[in-house]
Amino acid sequence: MSEGYSGKRTAEIVGITYRQLDYWARTDLIRPSISDASGSGSRRLYGYGDLLELRVVKQLLDSGLKLENVRHVFAELRRLVGEEIATANLVIDGTSASLALDDGQLLDLLHKGQGVLNVMNLGQCQADLDARIVELRGPVGSADSPALSSTGS
């Protein structure tokens, strides 16, 4: 069994509007991993990993990156660290983002610039997300509590 979050609940937890969430799903930035919309009346169901990625997207945008650059950053992150994005540290200066490697080197995720103003610890992003889920969790069985869904058939 894995916990799933409705679109409304996901937007609330991540701190974005439902409209942003819908746009990001429709444009393939972050698609729900548990259940995607498949026509009128169907609902998206997001997994925990989706929430973490969405929270990182929000923080990248809040740091000044343009959405098109966030898309490039995520493509590179997925290529370099896979699903373990909480293990990554990003260095962001508002126009570029670099991955801080274990050996202390920076790998530019957008272009060859080397400006550094803000280091984002994605593990802290994950901890903040966990705290927000606990804070907003409704009573089990309530309309706002996360749905449970089985992955796989």
State the Cα torsion 101-27-50-21 to the nearest 10°: 120
Q: Tokens 């925990």, residue?
A: 48
Residue 151 falls within a domain, yes or no? no
The CATH number for 81's domain is 1.10.1660.10
Average pLDDT over every residue of 10-15 = 95
Q: What is the pLDDT of residue 139?
A: 53
% the chain with pLDDT above 90: 33
Q: What is the pLDDT of residue 114?
A: 44
Residue 148 falls within a domain, yes or no? no
Q: Is the pLDDT of residue 151 over 50?
A: no
- The whole-model pTM stands at 0.68
To the nearest 10 degrees (0 to 180), the angle between helices 7-14 and 18-26 is: 110
How many domains, in total, are found in the chain? 1
Average pLDDT over every residue of 119-125 = 77
